[in-house]
Amino acid sequence: MPDDNRPQLNWDIQLNFDNLEVTKPAAPPPPIIPPRIIIGEKFPKILLRIELLWGSLELHNYLEHTLFTDRSNRQGFPEDVLRALGEIHTEHVRVLKQKNLISVDVWDI
């Protein structure tokens, strides 16, 4: 038996979509380019040195000096190359730590 005390529903609803903001679908992210390709395209000699010295303390010192120089007369690398060198440096540090060629510092724990 229906309850007459319930509020009546108004089914006569009109929807207005004229003022809705239409958002465009997001652009797909740019393709991921491996660091070695980024470096090799712009600085092939640096890439060759990385490949020849991979897994050595000599490469570690070279990357440290290249990325963290205190010489103010340097122009610096383009942003994409700097990011690629940083990724290679991070991976190389991980490899050297696995080989126990460099020690783990307190910030790694």
Phi-psi map region of 15: left, alpha, beta (phi>0 left; psi -120 to 50 alpha): beta
Looking at residue 69, its pLDDT comes to 73
For residue 87, which of 30, 31, 28, 39 has the smallest C-alpha distance? 39
Alpha helices, DSSP H only, in 1-109?
A: 35-42, 44-53, 57-67, 79-98
For residue 78, which of 104, 53, 41 has the smallest C-alpha distance? 41
Looking at residue 3, its pLDDT comes to 62
Model confidence pLDDT, tens digit, residues 33-75? 999 999 999 999 999 999 999 999 999 999 999 888 766 666 7
Q: How far apart are CA 16 and CA 96, in angstroms?
A: 63
Tokens coding 66: 């290249």
Split at pLDDT 50, 70, 90, the class of 88 is very high
For residue 66, the number of C-alpha atoms closer than 13 Å in the C-beta half-sphere is 20
